[in-house]
Amino acid sequence: MLFCPHCGSLLVPKKIGSKKVLACSSCSYKTSETKQAVIRQEITQKQPAVDIIEKEIETLPLTEKECPKCGHKKAFFWTIQTRAGDEPETKFFKCEKCKHVWREYD
């Protein structure tokens, strides 16, 4: 990278006629030497598209609870305060096998 000797701004490559020069975008300074004005062009190839696979990953804790639908012995669980603050939380369960969701009140 080269900087303008007058104002310190970055010199950008420009083509004036058949000449390639570096010119300041802030002031009117232009390089007179073509050796300094090397314009480099990079062509980046497109990366192949990435396939997005939507897979449900359970991050909930697993407990031993029998599913009322299929009878499987393990289920994910979470709790939510669905009623007043002085009442116990509602426990929700989701069967590990058939994904059936049910709740229990304490």
User: Residues 94, 59: contact at Cβ < 8 Å?
Assistant: no
Q: Where in the chain is the domain with CATH 2.20.25.10?
A: 62-105
**pLDDT tens-digit profile of 64-79?**
999 999 999 999 999 9
Q: Is 32 left (phi over 0), alpha (psi -120 to 50) or beta?
A: alpha
| Most trustworthy range by pLDDT among 15-19, 38-42, 52-56, 87-91 | 87-91
CATH number of 62-105: 2.20.25.10
Amino acid at 84: A
- For the annotated catalytic residues, the residue numbers are 86-87
Tokens standing for 55? Answer: 């897979």
Q: Give the Cα separation of 91 and 94 in Å (integer).
A: 10
94 band by pLDDT with thresholds 50, 70 and 90: very high
